């Protein structure tokens, strides 16, 4: 058995992406080794957090019922909640950028999904939308209209990279991060998962140098660079791997648990 690569200081806060990191797209479940690993981290007094593009309202259909978390980085970092699911941080899209997104939403030239804290809705459903959501094991979102009184935390545009610049050039206060070859997130330029992570670290009084994160997508890259030890899944995108300090095995080959063993954390 290989000797452990001990981290000093030892991580106290662990952040895990969901799709492709905790939940396998192949089996549609969390590998048993991952469930055991996260339970052991919490038994050892560590804080275990989710860091996902999904909202709290989506957790009812995700196969995470066997896991307990100490907090949640949600909607791609635009919202953070504590262990009791109370909101401790929110960073919506505002001003000119929101006006442009509203115009594009109502024009229905392309499918756009809006995320609020407790609601998500789309302007039009196409075969492309259905395919993307099927590949990430998500129900097709409902068609609805924005409520001007409720903040929009994130938008998702369902298309490949060929037209990204057309829209993003009109959103100077936002940035795009891809989580699927056929869809990308739009969040404030200062936003992303790191913003939500910082909010939870402040909330729990944990320093940055005692953090570790696991991810697999382009939208995890900033998170993997920010934490003390960033780990990309072997099934991850090239951007995640380039940002990581360490690349572990595939999600379906117990990669996450093996990585924690590699660093002497289990």
Q: Domains in the chain, start-ordered, CATH in brackets? A: 13-90+192-262 (3.40.50.1000), 95-188 (3.30.1240.10)
**CA nearest to 115, candidates 95, 134, 101:** 101
What's the rounded mean pLDDT across residues 73-81? 97
pLDDT band at residue 1 using 50, 70 and 90 as cut-offs: very low
Predicted confidence (pLDDT) per residue in 17-61, tens digit:
999 999 998 999 999 999 999 999 999 999 999 999 999 999 988
Q: What percent of the chain has pLDDT over 90?
A: 88
How many other CB atoms are there within 10 angstroms of residue 264's CB atom?
A: 12
Predicted confidence (pLDDT) per residue in 101-130, tens digit:
999 999 998 999 999 999 999 999 999 999
* pLDDT at 136 exceeding the cut of 90: no
Task: Kindly report the pTM of this predicted structure.
Answer: 0.93
Longest dimension (CA), the chain: 59
Buried b (16+ CB within 10 A) or exposed e, 118-146: eebbbbebeeebeebbeebeeeebeeeeb
Predicted confidence (pLDDT) per residue in 179-193, tens digit:
888 999 999 999 999
Q: Residue 70 burial (CB < 10 Å; 0-12/13-18/19+)?
A: middle
Report yes or no: 174 and 168 within 8 Å, Cβ to Cβ: yes
């Amino acid at each position: 058995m290989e000797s452990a690569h001990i981290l000093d200081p030892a991580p106290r806060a662990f952040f895990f992406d969901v799709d492709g990191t905790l939940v396998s797209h192949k089996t549609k479940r969390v590998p048993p080794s991952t469930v055991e690993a996260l339970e052991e981290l919490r038994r050892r007094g560590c804080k275990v957090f989710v860091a996902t593009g999904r909202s709290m309202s989506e957790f009812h259909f995700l196969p995470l019922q066997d896991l307990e978390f100490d907090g949640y980085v949600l909607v791609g970092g635009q919202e953070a909640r504590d262990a009791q699911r109370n909101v401790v941080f929110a960073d919506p899209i505002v001003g000119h950028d929101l006006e442009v997104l509203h115009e594009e939403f109502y024009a229905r030239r392309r499918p756009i999904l809006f995320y609020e804290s407790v609601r998500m809705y789309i302007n039009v459903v196409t075969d492309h939308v259905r395919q993307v959501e099927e590949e990430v094991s998500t129900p097709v979102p409902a068609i609805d209209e924005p409520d001007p009184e409720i903040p929009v935390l994130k938008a998702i545009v369902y298309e490949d990279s060929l037209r990204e610049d057309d829209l993003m050039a009109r959103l100077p206060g936002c940035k795009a991060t891809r989580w699927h070859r056929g869809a990308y997130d739009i969040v404030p330029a200062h936003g992303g998962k790191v913003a939500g992570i910082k909010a939870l670290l402040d909330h729990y009084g944990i320093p940055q140098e005692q953090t570790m994160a696991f991810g697999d997508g382009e939208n995890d890259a900033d998170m993997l660079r920010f934490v003390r030890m960033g780990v990309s899944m072997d099934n991850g995108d090239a951007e995640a791997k380039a940002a990581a300090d360490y690349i572990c095995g595939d999600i379906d080959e117990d990669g996450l648990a093996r990585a924690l063993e590699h660093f002497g954390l289990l």
